[in-house]
Each structure stands twice: as structure tokens, then as C-alpha cells.
Amino acid sequence: MKRNKTVAFAAVCAGLSLLTACGSGSSGGSGGSGGNSASGGAPAYNAGIQNIVNASTKTGGTLSFALSNTPDSTDPGNTYYAYMWDFSRLWARPLLSYKDVPGKDGLQLVPNLATGKGQVSQDGLSWTYHLKPGLKFEDGSAITSQDVKYAVERSTNYAPDVAPNGPTYFQQYLTDPTYPGAYKDTSPDKMGLTAIDTPDPTTVVFHLQHPFADFDYLVSMPQTAPVPPAKDTGAKYQEHPVSSGPYMFSSYDPNKGFTLVKNTQWSAASDPNDKQLVNQINVEFNVQAADIDSRLLNGTLDLDLDGTGVQTAARAKILGQKRLQTYADDATTGFLWYAALNTQVAPLNNVDCRKAIEYAINKTTQQTAYGGPIAGGDIATTILPPTVDGYAKSDQYKFLANPNGDTTQAKSELQKCGQPNGFSINIGARGDRPKEVSAAQGIQEALGQVGIKAQIQQYPTGSYFTSYAGSPNFVHQHDLGILMGGWGADWPDGFGFLSQISDGRAIKSAGNSNLQEENNPALNALLDKSTQTTDAPGRTAIYTQIDQMEMGDAVILPEVYSKALLYRNPAVTNVFVTEAYGMYDYTQLGVSQ
């Protein structure tokens, strides 16, 4: 066995040596100080979390990405995946975007197409943005405010039959929710949405139904990236979205992939955020996941676009060899793995019974089930993960002090709730996710130690939220008191994370995300208050308050703050993890050879 490993390592070195990375100490990069700290640094394990690795202004070359499946869409109005929101900024610039720096500062919003953050009216119902002057599409035509308005009109918000995949926040928060969509718009210039005004070619005004302090986050989504009405091809737009960013589409095949080349109409002067370093970017679809890892390690691929980390075998190789480890980052993804404790399924309607579960669980087993400390993540003690605005350290049930669970305390809680000998309950999990099933088994085992008999029911991922766990009727009928799940915010603050999963008014009869079916009027009121609080620290404090209130109510059993082990090809420059998306920032990259 050892011999095989040596051979494998030698071969990997042979491969990497083509990039002069092996055996030469440091790799590429100009302006690097020798150590691990300071920006522009040399590669090191986790260097990309707080620093920019391989900082360089070198231009030229080709960047190659791969995906293990096909994207939901490259049409900015029709996509709902974090990696596409990150990547699509290269051809679809929204009004605002996240600051392209590593660390906490990367959660701030900065102007992109707009000149600044939104100007709010006195009553909080109108938000105004001004476009920078001289912006152009890839064909040289000017970008106007009407193009931004049209982009929203044609997106999932109002035209779900043509663009079914994206989020629908605008439809929820703006006035005129019954607008029939750009394709059924009968007005001559297709500007029929009354919720958005375009008084002049560089001004966009959004009208809201209620004040919403987080509105700037909504306009940072790709759906505000402008689309010229004359060039909109609807369902086919994804094949060649008209670019407003540094790159444009040169080819697209729905089964094989697409290629981006430089957009000559883009100018760095109008875009302090993105960089245009490489000549060409290739994205290949449907490459086997383990194969992506092999190619990353032997240097023929630059980055995995999906951003969810390498598979088991590559992880073992990377963590087992110091040399490879310097090219890896264990990024916090902003995702929380948790179990919802449904408040409508007896006896979990009693808070002490729920607390018993919180104490009984063996946190280490749960962490292992999701992949251990590096591939799975850190043991979670709050609902908000550390990269979300509103997170504050707190550990109400002493998870960190008793990582294997506290059966004594659990039993005393059971006494309090009137079930001293335990009870029976069912756990719902997605059967085609081995980690989730393992985690459910861990819960089952731990609960068994305090007399709670739990049965695991498995359901398919595709309909888990539409028909099973996300259908309160089904949950009640089948006594599913514990529901496994995971959640990532659509924007990184407490409201973006908590509203859909904690607001009692967000409970739906199908497709429900508030799995624990909590409806706490005090909590709902706090959520509302946060949308009306205009000062940022005030909002942050409210989010922390909500988090702690929910934990105190034991409606959610947080398990792991998800992490992903990412690998960067040593040839790639300006690599770092953006906390906004929990993966590498794709708008700054270059290639060094």
C-alpha cells in the first residue's frame, strides 16, 4: 500500500511539475511576501480565507472550469444557485454587488452598475438608484434604466412560465404583484410594470408595498442585470445573454458547456469591481465529480465551478500531503445543517421535550456524519452561521462543553415535560443523501440512550420540500417530529437567513421551509421590526436576538456550520474565498503561466 501511495504522489508531482509547482518551493505570483499573512501572499493552507493568494496583474491565458452536472440556467433572471450568482457577474452586472475582498468585509455591498446604494424615501417605500454614465452592452449599445426594468419584468418574478428557476423576491415585495410578465405585456415599449419607474435613462426607482431595510440585498441579485428588450430571446436567452460585464458568450452547448471571451465594450473605468485578465474562460458540463478532482490535482483543470468542495478521495490526498495542502482552503459556506423539531407533533409541542432532544444529541457523531471537521464543518451552536450578519457566539445547550451529549440533563428535561420514560417519534430525511441518513441514524442512536424511540423515514430529495417534509399535513399524519434539512441564506444577513425558516406567516401547505412550523408572534414582530430598522448595527442586534430566542425555544437543532474543502490550481491568480457566496470569488481570477 505504501508503495502505491509513493507512486501516486510521484505521479502527481510529475503532473504538477509541468506547472513548475512541485519542488520549487513557492509558486507563481508577484508581490508575495514569504509568509502566510498579508495580502498578495504565497499559497498556504487556508490562505485564501483571509488573503488574496497569488495576487497578480498578469493578463492572458485561458481559465478552465468544470461542473459535475448542468447549471439550472446561465440566464441571470432565471438562476438560483450561489455559484451562478457569483460567476454570472462576469457577463451580467447587477446594480450592486458584494465587495470583492476576502474576510468579513466581503459581506458589504458596493456599487456595481449603480453609483451608490439605494436612496430611500422618507416613508421607506421608494428606493432610487442611479446608473453610472457610459455603460455599454457587448454590442456597443448604451445600458439604460429601462434595460434594468425590463430585466426584472422578464425574470422569474413575473414570467415563471418562461423562466421558472429563479427567486421571486421582487414579486413579493414590490407593488404591482399581478403584472403578467414582459411577454404578455401589452404596453408598446414593454414597460408595463408600475412597480418600477424609469424617469430618465440613468435612474431606476423601485416602489415597495412595505418598508424593507434589506432591499439593497435584493438588487444585488443577478435579476437586476440589464437585458435589452430587442435582443431578448426568452427561453433561449441563456445561450447568449447580452453581456454587460467583462466577458461575453462565444459558444454554448446545453450538454457540453460554454465558452466566454473578452467583452471589448467593457471598460475597467466603469467597473472597479471585476477584472478582465484572461483571454478565454471555458466551462465544461457533466464531468464526473471524482474526475474533476483528478484533473484539479494533475493541473489540467483550474477550478471546480460548483464550489462545494472536493470529494473524499481527493480530500484524503490533499490533507495527507503538505504540498497539496498549500493549495486548499477549508471555506465556511454559510450553510447550516440542522434538524427541525416540529412544534405541532406531540409531544414536541412541549418545549422541555424539545430541549431534551437538544441535550441528548451526540454532536461529534453528527459532525462525523456530515463529513467530519474539515469536510463537514464545525459543530453549530447557533442557527446563524458565522458568516451571516447577526451571528454572535452563544451555546445555550453547552454543545461544545459536552460534544457527546448530556444524557443526564436530557433525562431531567424529559421529567419536566412529563415523559420520564421517553416517547416515540419519527425522523424524516432525504434518502438519497447518505450524509443526511447517517446524521439521522446518529440522532436515532443518541435518542435511544435516553429512552426516545425514533424511526427514520426516507424520502426523495426532489420532492422532499414539496410533498413530504414541506407539507405540514403529511408531517402531521406521519408523526414526523424531527425533520432533517439544511439551509443557506439568499443574502447573508439574519433576515435573509431566518425569514423563510422561522416566520410563522411563511408556513405554506406545500414547499414549506419553516419545517418546525413555529409561529411565535414575538419573533414575527422582531422580523418585521428588522425590516424597518434603518441603522445597520440596530438590525444586527435584532438578528442576534431572534437567533437566541429561537434557540431558547428549542425549535431547531443546529448540527454543523457547513464547510467545504476547496482546491485551487497553483496557476490561478487572485484567488480568495468570498464570504458572501461561501466559495471562491470568480470575478478576479487570472492565470499565471
Q: CA torsion, points 447, 507, 154, 90, in degrees to nearest 10? A: -30
Between 167 and 186, how does the x/- string for binding to other proteins read (CB under 8 A)? xx-------------xx---
Q: CA torsion, points 541, 547, 552, 553, in degrees to nearest 10? A: 130
Q: Report phi then psi at 90, rounded to 5.
A: -70, -25
Residues 6 or more apart whose CB falls under 8 angstroms from that of 4 comprise none
120/221 with CB nearer other proteins? 221
What part of residues 503-562 is at the interface with other proteins (CB under 8 A)? 510-511, 513
Q: CA-to-CA distance for 160 and 243, rounded, in angstroms?
A: 22
3-state DSSP call for residue 383? Answer: coil
Residue 437 contacts other proteins per CB under 8 A: yes
β-pair partners for 590: 573
Residue 251 contacts other proteins per CB under 8 A: no
Residue 412 contacts other proteins per CB under 8 A: no
Between 460 and 489, how does the x/- string for binding to other proteins read (CB under 8 A)? x-xx-xxxx---------------------
Quick one: 100 exposed, middle or buried, by C-beta within 10 A (0-12, 13-18, 19+)? Answer: buried
DSSP string, 193-207: -TTEEEEETTEEEEE
Residue 548: how many CB atoms within 10 A of its CB?
16
Residue 234 contacts other proteins per CB under 8 A: yes
What part of residues 67-86 is at the interface with other proteins (CB under 8 A)? 69-70, 72-73, 78-80
* Nearest-approach distance from CB 476 to other proteins, in angstroms: 16
133/460 with CB nearer other proteins? 460
Candidate segments 202-210, 269-277, 404-412, 438-446, binder of other proteins by CB under 8 A: 438-446
Q: Which of 8, 268, 525, 536 forms a contact with other proteins (CB under 8 A)?
A: 8
What part of residues 125-154 is at the interface with other proteins (CB under 8 A)? 154
Residue 313 contacts other proteins per CB under 8 A: yes
Q: CA-to-CA distance for 189 and 206, rounded, in angstroms?
A: 19
206/370 with CB nearer other proteins? 370
Residue 5 contacts other proteins per CB under 8 A: yes
Q: Which of 103, 124, 373, 403 forms a contact with other proteins (CB under 8 A)?
A: 373
Candidate segments 126-134, 162-170, 401-409, 519-527, binder of other proteins by CB under 8 A: 162-170
Residue 13 contacts other proteins per CB under 8 A: no
Residue 240 contacts other proteins per CB under 8 A: no
Q: CA-to-CA distance for 360 and 419, rounded, in angstroms?
A: 14
Total of chain residues touching other proteins, rule CB under 8 A: 90
What part of residues 255-284 is at the interface with other proteins (CB under 8 A)? 255-256, 284
Which regions of 165-315 does DSSP assign to beta strands (E)?
Answer: 196-200, 203-207, 247-253, 257-262, 280-284, 303-304
Q: Which of 59, 233, 250, 424 forms a contact with other proteins (CB under 8 A)?
A: 233
135/339 with CB nearer other proteins? 339
Is residue 66 within a helix (H) or strand (E), and if so which, with residue range?
A: strand 62-66
CA 401 to chain centre: 30
* Nearest-approach distance from CB 55 to other proteins, in angstroms: 29
Q: CA-to-CA distance for 337 and 562, rounded, in angstroms?
A: 7
β-pair partners for 63: 281
Q: CA-to-CA distance for 391 and 543, rounded, in angstroms?
A: 8
Q: CA-to-CA distance for 469 and 481, rounded, in angstroms?
A: 10
160/504 with CB nearer other proteins? 160
Residue 191 contacts other proteins per CB under 8 A: no
Cis peptide before 347 (omega within 30 of 0): yes
Q: Which of 142, 191, 261, 289 forms a contact with other proteins (CB under 8 A)?
A: 289
30/69 with CB nearer other proteins? 69
Indicate the residue type of 355. K
Residue 382 contacts other proteins per CB under 8 A: no
Q: Which of 191, 319, 346, 392 forms a contact with other proteins (CB under 8 A)?
A: 319
